[in-house]
Chain A
Amino acid sequence: MLAWTIYLSFLGAAMAALAPKDRPTIARWIALTTSVLGLGIGLAGILHQTNRSALQTIVDVPWIPAIHARYLLAADGISLTLVLLTGIAAVAGILFSWNITHRANQFFAFYLTLIGGVYGVFLSFDAFLFFVFYEIAIIPKYFLVAIWGSTNKEYGAMKLALYSFVGSALVLVGLIATYAHAGSPTFSLLELARQPLPTSFQVWVFPLVFVGFAILAGLWPFHTWAPTGHVAAPTAASMLLAGVVMKLGAYGALRVAMPLFPEGLAAWRDPLALLSVIGILAGAGIALIQKDFKFVVGYSSVSHMGFVLLGLMTLSVTGLSGAVLQMFSHGIIASLLFAVVGRMIYDRAHTRELSALESLQLSRALPFAAITFVLASLASMGLPGFSGFVAELQVLMGAWKTFPLYAALAGIGILIGVAYTLRVLVKAFFGQSNGTIEAATHENYAPISIPERIGALLLLGTSLLVGIYPRVLLDLILPSFETPLMKPLLKGAGL
């Protein structure tokens, strides 16, 4: 049944594309319906996951026998967590792009295509199929940013598309080499993981595949697409980029690169952990000095994704489940932050310069936005009670056992995170006014609309729920490391 998340999204995309050009409402409702249905199916899939430790096969039919590719969709707890994230982010994104009227039918067509590709990636257990969905997700991103974006949109869109494509090219090299090298040619992840590959081979293929995926996850120094792309993108697209697309990369690294090449992973583990810590610190440090509100959130994404990558490198149950939880948590919080910045503030004040916002005293004009952002930034800082706290704590605990120094540095990263979050919070909402604000400026701002409120509450509620009761997700995630695909990972670390 979970497969219908994919089909529904593509179906919705086709319907939105065929919707009349001058009636944006129709396309809007088509998009909302399909994404809510997708979310519902995802939830139902979680509830139906009866045998939690096993991999649940959804569809498994031969697809292209000539290259032994199968149409193999399956789900374990990690997939389900991310499917749920995609569903929530997709619904919220549509709610926050309710005001799009310019070529709305095309907007939602591209949007739903992207969502469909993302669902496909999270559910594929055949490397070829995985790659197909992974690439399907690239092109809609380009159009979403290039057509509906703002600052420097064509440059940002092209950079985003080329980085993604170069990343997937690296992955493609690795996949083809692996296929050619495997004793019995297959693309099934489970079977590939079972076939021992020579160490010398793993050592050169693993970094290709891992870095190829991690480019999309914002691995330093390949992260530069992320801030540019996020800033250029329209609100819904930057919500998806930060909320879901960056997770594609981390998920690919966890699902494909790490189980298939355990010995390569062992050889490259230390440098990669170092890179992810540098990412945490660099992202946070750069965010501290940004002048554009959206750039601050963009760089904070790089920093938070560093935690995911560091969690992956711990190779312990605590660290890995922390990484997955952080993917989910950051997906929710970053979506919310971008929604506030892009939709609630920028669409009304038409500026994102912190210095300009400082004089506007938005907390008075847009109290709902201010409250939302305060809560979101608390979550982003990793305050207890929000999802970010549980996730980052687990990553740090996992890292402390293996890389104590890196764990300490990542802790410093959290402190810087507090600093830059408070800085933008004060500057953007509680600035010192010179007393020259005309009330008219504020009255020009449209009130926060109902869809925006629903979207914000949906995201905030999810983050709170997971923060207060993380077992909702951990019960799903933890058994996933017992599947034959993931289990050898932990053994490889000697734990």
Chain B
Amino acid sequence: MNYMELLGALAPEAIVVLTALVALAVDLLVLRQAPQNARQVVAVSITAVGILAAIIALSVAAPSPPWMDGLLINHSTTAFLKQTLLVLALVAGILSIQSRFTQHTGEYVTLLLLSTVGMMLLVSSDNLLLMFVALELTSLPLYVLTAFNKESPSSSEASLKYFLIGSLSAACLLFGISLLYGLSGGITWTQLATTLRAGSEPIVYLALILTLIGFAFKVAAAPFHLWAPDVYQGAPTPVAAFIASGSKIASFYMFARIFMAALPGTAGSAAWSGATPGWVPLVAALAVVSMILGNVAAIAQRSVKRLLAYSAIGHAGYALLAILSNTEQGMGSLLYYVVTYAVTAMGAFAVVNVIERDVQAPNGESLTDFAGLSRRSPLLSLCLLVFVLSLAGIPPLAGFFGKFYIFIATAQSGTSQGLIWLVMLAIGTSAISLYYYLQILKQVYVVESVGQPTPVQLRPAESACIVAMACTVLILGCAPNWLINRFSPNSTEVRRAGVITKPSTTLELAAEIHPRITAPLGTATGLVQKRPQFETTTANAQ
């Protein structure tokens, strides 16, 4: 492979980076004196063109063989996820038109796109090194974007909190993956999968725990969720929407893949009777705490954005169930779930964005600002109804099938339905969640607004986005097949990329995939020269 081939494989990412730079340059060089609104429209238009080009590039690209050392994996699933991420980024851009939180439009769009590139690389990487770098590239612009509203102290506070906690979690993750590297001597999934086994070595568990903590921060799973409510509330709403949607997809995908594909030998079991140590019981603990805490704490919230943050924690708990099911079906259900969740959350935040602009309260919106919305804007309230009911898991919306599929995958995995207790808990907390979702809908439909209802101002692009997302949620719920087939576990491509499901077959699969790790790459690890020693010792230990 040469650089031209690499450029071909990386074309979508390159297009997005180029778009980001062009948007920045146009905004700073040409439109410095233009009115704010025009700058926003131009920047978002450039973004739209670039994103469209990248989406087309993704859809025409043939699946390429993995770049050296699993550094770049492209197949139909990753292409679809990247397209979803791009669309979400575009919506986040459109939502910020006419918003008054910043005058640095060019920088805003650039950072948004750079973060998207990070997510795209994250989805494509099969390698600890690129995974970490991509995770940083995803997070760093998001920290900055959170602070973009300089007039609001809560924005700065949220950003600082996000940044500090995020750095801490990155440190944990780095420590964890350095231990994984030290123990296995490799940084690709297949190298890790073939060497690491659960055993008597406590250090393996230490590595697992640290890696897990790093990802738990990224996906806002309790008890590592503390940043989420403040960031969702303090950040400018389009940014919060992107954090709640795009970064969730990328982080969850990577979360699932590093554990399912790279660490199948250390899975353990979370069955009610006969749990064995490994990462599965750890994920189960995270899931239990997240589901309970997220859904119970959401009841007490008075700000819709904060409520959505706690609900996101609860939803992270459900998604963790899919990860710990550790099967192909689990992976498929996870992807269906996070994609539909991302669209739903983006839609809900989009509605909140409109309301927030409408009320212009100094402290952001609150639940009562939604009172009587059904009289003020029937369309908006109908869309909000769809989003909120989908989050609550009411059929025939996508959120229902997402949960159902995850529960099925979890119940079927493990021996003799040992995980059914988790499904019961999840369904129980889901029943609790209906209460606070109905609180939102109660404001919208039941409570009458004070005084004469005034229509809500909606921009065409914005309302088109919101309606399109509501329709997506409805259609994906009625016909989930369309999405599921994209993540079909039978596709050989996905197998090659290492979505490995039955732990027992890992070795054969690895052997099948990895004759290609050629000698120069295998020995090319001289940077830290202690490594060969670990390799020999782990080999001896077996």
A and B in contact, CB less than 8 Å: yes
Q: Which chain A positions have C-beta within 8 A of B15?
A: none
Q: Which chain A positions have C-beta within 8 A of B445?
A: 106, 143, 146-147
Report the Cα distance A64→B394, complex, angstroms: 17
Query: Quick one: which of B408-425 are within 8 Å of A by CB?
Result: 408, 411-412, 417, 420, 423-424
Report the Cα distance A147→B438, complex, angstroms: 13
Report the Cα distance A47→B439, complex, angstroms: 46
Whether a CB of chain B sits under 8 angstroms from the CB of A176 is yes
Report the Cα distance A398→B428, complex, angstroms: 37
CB A471 to nearest CB in B, in angstroms, measures 38
Query: Quick one: which of A48-93 are within 8 Å of B by CB?
Result: 63-67
With A66-B405, A162-B434, A180-B408: A169-B484 Cβ-Cβ less than 8 Å: no
With A66-B481, A154-B442, A162-B434: A173-B424 Cβ-Cβ less than 8 Å: yes
With beta carbons under 8 angstroms apart, the residue of A146, A169, A177 that contacts B446 is A146
B431 engages A162 (CB within 8 Å): yes
A143 engages B446 (CB within 8 Å): yes
A169 engages B430 (CB within 8 Å): yes
B431 engages A165 (CB within 8 Å): yes
Whether a CB of chain B sits under 8 angstroms from the CB of A179 is yes
Report the Cα distance A66→B389, complex, angstroms: 23
Whether a CB of chain A sits under 8 angstroms from the CB of B67 is no
Whether a CB of chain B sits under 8 angstroms from the CB of A135 is yes
Q: Chain B 186-209, CB within 8 Å of chain A: the 1/0 string?
A: 000000000000000000000000
Whether a CB of chain A sits under 8 angstroms from the CB of B156 is no
A158 engages B438 (CB within 8 Å): yes
Report the Cα distance A147→B401, complex, angstroms: 28
Q: Which chain A positions have C-beta within 8 A of B405?
A: 66-67
B481 engages A180 (CB within 8 Å): no
With A132-B400, A176-B407: A161-B420 Cβ-Cβ less than 8 Å: no
Report the Cα distance A147→B430, complex, angstroms: 24
Q: Chain B 326-354, CB within 8 Å of chain A: the 1/0 string?
A: 00010010000000000000000000000
Report the Cα distance A133→B428, complex, angstroms: 20
Which of A65, A131, A143, A154 has the most B CB atoms < 10 Å from its CB? Answer: A143
With A132-B395, A136-B395, A166-B431: A67-B446 Cβ-Cβ less than 8 Å: no
Whether a CB of chain B sits under 8 angstroms from the CB of A172 is yes
Whether a CB of chain A sits under 8 angstroms from the CB of B374 is yes
B389 engages A179 (CB within 8 Å): no
Report the Cα distance A147→B411, complex, angstroms: 39
Report the Cα distance A135→B430, complex, angstroms: 13
Report the Cα distance A167→B332, complex, angstroms: 28
Report the Cα distance A414→B427, complex, angstroms: 39
Taking residues whose C-beta sits less than 8 angstroms from the other chain, chain B's interface range is 35 or more
Q: Which chain B positions have C-beta within 8 A of A324?
A: none
The number of residue pairs between A and B whose CB atoms lie closer than 8 Å in the complex comes to 88
Q: Which chain A positions have C-beta within 8 A of B412?
A: 179-180, 185
CB B421 to nearest CB in A, in angstroms, measures 10
Q: Which chain A positions have C-beta within 8 A of B400?
A: 132, 135
Q: Which chain A positions have C-beta within 8 A of B424?
A: 173
Whether a CB of chain A sits under 8 angstroms from the CB of B281 is no
With A143-B445, A173-B427: A67-B434 Cβ-Cβ less than 8 Å: no
B446 engages A154 (CB within 8 Å): yes
A169 engages B396 (CB within 8 Å): no
With A177-B411, A179-B408: A158-B435 Cβ-Cβ less than 8 Å: yes
Whether a CB of chain B sits under 8 angstroms from the CB of A119 is no
With beta carbons under 8 angstroms apart, the residue of A128, A147, A180 that contacts B420 is A180
Chain A residue nearest to B416 in the complex (CB): A181
Whether a CB of chain A sits under 8 angstroms from the CB of B480 is yes
Q: Which chain B positions have C-beta within 8 A of A154?
A: 442, 446
Report the Cα distance A309→B194, complex, angstroms: 58
Whether a CB of chain B sits under 8 angstroms from the CB of A142 is yes
Report the Cα distance A142→B446, complex, angstroms: 10
Report the Cα distance A185→B405, complex, angstroms: 13
Q: Which chain B positions have C-beta within 8 A of A169?
A: 427-428, 430-431
Q: Which chain A positions have C-beta within 8 A of B428?
A: 169
A173 engages B423 (CB within 8 Å): yes
With A146-B442, A165-B434: A136-B394 Cβ-Cβ less than 8 Å: yes
B394 engages A176 (CB within 8 Å): no
CB A476 to nearest CB in B, in angstroms, measures 29
CB A379 to nearest CB in B, in angstroms, measures 35
Query: Quick one: which of A123-162 are within 8 Å of B by CB?
Result: 128, 131-133, 135-136, 138-139, 142-143, 146-147, 154, 158, 161-162
Q: Which chain B positions have C-beta within 8 A of A17?
A: 382
Query: Quick one: which of B374-398 are within 8 Å of A by CB?
Result: 374, 378, 382, 389, 394-396
Q: Which chain B positions have C-beta within 8 A of A165?
A: 431, 434
B396 engages A136 (CB within 8 Å): yes
With beta carbons under 8 angstroms apart, the residue of A132, A147, A177, A180 that contacts B396 is A132
A64 engages B480 (CB within 8 Å): yes
Q: Which chain A positions have C-beta within 8 A of B394?
A: 135-136, 138-139
B374 engages A106 (CB within 8 Å): yes
Q: Which chain A positions have C-beta within 8 A of B329?
A: 66
Chain B residue nearest to A135 in the complex (CB): B395
Report the Cα distance A319→B36, complex, angstroms: 76
CB A245 to nearest CB in B, in angstroms, measures 16
CB A367 to nearest CB in B, in angstroms, measures 37
With A132-B396, A139-B394: A176-B408 Cβ-Cβ less than 8 Å: yes
Q: Which chain B positions have C-beta within 8 A of A136?
A: 394-396
Chain A residue nearest to B425 in the complex (CB): A173
With A139-B394, A161-B438: A67-B408 Cβ-Cβ less than 8 Å: yes
Query: Quick one: which of A266-300 are within 8 Å of B by CB?
Result: none
CB pairs A–B below 8 angstroms (11 shown): A21-B378, A63-B481, A64-B481, A135-B394, A135-B395, A136-B395, A139-B394, A169-B427, A172-B404, A172-B427, A177-B417
Extra A-B contacts (16), CB below 8 Å, given A135-B400, A166-B431: A64-B401, A64-B484, A66-B481, A67-B408, A106-B374, A136-B395, A138-B394, A147-B446, A161-B434, A162-B435, A165-B431, A169-B431, A173-B420, A176-B420, A180-B408, A180-B412
The 10 closest A-B pairs by CB, nearest first: A180-B411, A132-B395, A169-B431, A146-B446, A180-B412, A169-B427, A165-B434, A66-B484, A176-B411, A135-B395
